[in-house]
Amino acid sequence: MLFNSLGFLYGFLPSIYLVFWRFAGKTQRWMTLAIGGYVFYSFWNYKFLVLMLFSTGVSYLAGLALLRWQDPGLRRWCVAGSVGADLAVLGFFKYGNFMAGNINAVTSWLGGRASLPILDIVLPVGISFYTFHTITYVIDAYRGAITPTRNLFKYAAYVSMFPQLVAGPIVRYRQIEQDFENVDRAHETANADTGWSFFVVGLVEKVLIADTIASIIDPALARYSELSTVDAWLCVVGFAYQVYFDFAGYSDMAVGLGHLFGFRIPQNFNSPYKSTDIADMWRRWHISLSSFFRDYVYIPLGGSRGGRLLTYRNLMLTMLLCGLWHGASWIYVTFGAYQGVLLILTSTFRGTWERLPLAARRIGTFGVWVVGLAIFRSSGFPMAGAMFQKMFTWHAGTAVVGGTVLVGMLTVAAGIAHFGPNSFEMHHRWSPGWVGAIAIVFGLCLFMLYGSRPAPYLYFQF
């Protein structure tokens, strides 16, 4: 079930909203959220509820053990066991076939005959996100950053809270623990205005901007070999805005839904296209993921504490893993490597770069980001190679159908992304005139939802 679907807007959301606010007690509200999250998830595939239940159960028990055990050795084993179990499930479902395929390829290349079976595995939606929720919980408990909860419903509600369940943001327990604790004191109407404001902003970003751009560039990219140089650039730049408004829109809807239930989900996109270098970009883009990799991979590897070469190694390893997180494919690993190289170059030439005018740095940062997205959007290396060839050598070709609308949409999208305020910079207190205008735009979104099948979010596949 998607946030941008009529079933969600007319069925699930009103139901859980009414039940949630009908209850006054903490435990009742935690239970409502936990059960609601499981119901929400079951609309995709109820069989995978077992995985979420397993991940929740293991990390909950690990939290209880960490509360009780003070012996460092035991605590380490506890964390290793819990995180290992989580990663094993994630690894099997997300990377099992990828690893088997690569082992088979290498074995065959070496002249061997071993062949691991390629299984018919369906990737459970959201597994990368809720697994990271549980991992951060256990590690933070181990580090003493949080006090694990003894209440199973509270913890289950945290893992399965539907606004953040299937595509993030990866909200850490410490970021939202206070809201869980005060859930019985949350005020319905006080949160509703802000919540709906965030939600409508997100819906507009997703339905009107991202989906419209996608409707033009997706058919064009499906025939990428026919693209001209201009159209190849239009498509890649279009994808840059599509992926931004798609995921930022989803995140804003998640934040809005969180507000409707009294939760302040943290910001996930802080105007990334205003970045002045790639490091800045990663501080602003998918903040919950990049900060996860910073805090749980880069810093434990040594961060920037071990000299230049070690820092470069850590940056590269972190970005390779970040790339791999996006999908079990070498194309994503390549995307991660590209970002790693850019971060190393940024670190090396920071002084020179910072002497450039602000506009040049922003344009340059956006430019290299767009080039990286050409890799990210490609279905494989042949497509990536063809796209680069199209982009960097002159090619004539057929024009993109809907090119005029695309240019118009890109102009609007660029204006908002590069110059406009992001949703957290808005005050969300609208005058009656603005409320009317927002209602009209929301009505337009509803019209689009009625007229076409809701488009899934790009980040669901990750």
Partner 1 sequence: MGRERTHRPVWRLGRVIPCLLAVVFLVDIVSRVPSIDPLTFRAWEALSRNRPPGAAFEPNRHYVNPWAYGDLASFGNLPELRQYRTEVFTTDALGFRNPPHVLGGEVNAILLGDSFAVGSGVSDDETLSSRLTRLTGCVVYNAGSDQGRVVPNEVLALARRLNMRNRLVMRLYAEDAAVPPMPTRRERVLWELEARMPARLRALIGRLRGLVAVGPLRVLSGRAVKALEDDKILPNRYAGYVVNATLDNGDPMLFQASEVNNFYRRREVRLDYWKWLRDTLRPARFDLLVVLVPSKYTVYRPFLVDHRPGPGAGADYLDRLERDLRTAGIPVLNLTPFLSAEAARYLQHDRYLYLLDDIHWDPRGIALAAEAIREQWPLADAPCSTTLSRAVEKP
Angstrom distance (rounded) from CA 135 to CA 129: 10
Query: Which of the residues 1 through 60 are near partner 1 (CB under 8 A)?
Result: 9-10
Interaction between residue 271 and partner 1 (CB under 8 A): no
SS3 annotation, 75-129: HHHHHHHHHHHHHHHHHHHHHHHHHHHHHHHHHHHCCCCCCCCCCCCCCCCCHHH
Interaction between residue 442 and partner 1 (CB under 8 A): yes
Q: Which stretch binds partner 1 (CB under 8 A): 42-50, 105-113, 178-186, 438-446?
A: 438-446
Residue position matching structure tokens 């459970």: 124
Query: Which of the residues 215 through 234 are near partner 1 (CB under 8 A)?
Result: 215-216, 219-220
Q: Which stretch binds partner 1 (CB under 8 A): 25-33, 301-309, 342-350, 448-456?
A: 448-456
Q: Residues 383-422 vs partner 1: string with x where CB under 8 A?
A: ------------------xx--x-----------------
Angstrom distance (rounded) from CA 318 to CA 41: 30
Q: Which stretch binds partner 1 (CB under 8 A): 45-53, 96-104, 236-244, 427-435?
A: 427-435
Interaction between residue 436 and partner 1 (CB under 8 A): yes
Binding-site member from 95, 233, 424, 430 for partner 1 (CB under 8 A): 430
Tokens of 255: 């934040």
- Give the dihedral sign, CA 141/146/150/156: negative
Interaction between residue 432 and partner 1 (CB under 8 A): yes
Picking from 213, 165, 135, the residue whose alpha carbon sits closest to that of residue 34 is 165
Q: Looking at 286, 326, 418, 428, which residue is catalytic?
A: 326
Query: Which CB sits closer to partner 1, 63 or 262?
Result: 262
Residue 423 Cβ, how far from partner 1 at the closest point, in Å?
Answer: 13
Binding-site member from 193, 266, 330, 388 for partner 1 (CB under 8 A): 193
Interaction between residue 448 and partner 1 (CB under 8 A): yes
Looking at residue 100, its amino acid is A
Q: Residues 55-84 vs partner 1: string with x where CB under 8 A?
A: ------------------------------
Picking from 279, 378, 282, 287, the residue whose alpha carbon sits closest to that of residue 327 is 378
For residue 286, indicate whether it is catalytic: no
Angstrom distance (rounded) from CA 321 to CA 296: 11
CA 434 to chain centre: 30
Interaction between residue 200 and partner 1 (CB under 8 A): yes
Interaction between residue 302 and partner 1 (CB under 8 A): no
Binding-site member from 12, 48, 158, 196 for partner 1 (CB under 8 A): 196
Residue 201 Cβ, how far from partner 1 at the closest point, in Å?
Answer: 10
Q: Which stretch binds partner 1 (CB under 8 A): 168-176, 209-217, 230-238, 290-298?
A: 209-217
Angstrom distance (rounded) from CA 2 to CA 270: 23
Q: How many CA atoms lie within 13 A of 218 on its CB side?
A: 10
Interaction between residue 435 and partner 1 (CB under 8 A): yes
Query: Which CB sits closer to partner 1, 109 or 450?
Result: 450
* Rg value, the chain, Cα: 23
Picking from 93, 85, 181, the residue whose alpha carbon sits closest to that of residue 134 is 85
Interaction between residue 438 and partner 1 (CB under 8 A): yes
Sorted by sequence, the CB contacts under 8 Å of residue 401 that are 6+ apart come out as 216, 219, 220
In three-state secondary structure terms, 398 is: strand
Total residues at the site for partner 1 (CB under 8 A)? 33
Binding-site member from 45, 379, 452, 461 for partner 1 (CB under 8 A): 452
Interaction between residue 446 and partner 1 (CB under 8 A): yes
Angstrom distance (rounded) from CA 320 to CA 435: 45
Residue 13 Cβ, how far from partner 1 at the closest point, in Å?
Answer: 9
Query: Which CB sits closer to partner 1, 55 or 191?
Result: 191
Angstrom distance (rounded) from CA 66 to CA 373: 41
In this structure, the chain runs to a length of 462
Looking at residue 256, its amino acid is G
Catalytic residues: 326
Residues that bind partner 1 (CB under 8 A): 9-10, 189, 191-193, 195-197, 199-200, 212, 215-216, 219-220, 401-402, 405, 430, 432, 435-436, 438-439, 442-443, 446-448, 450-452
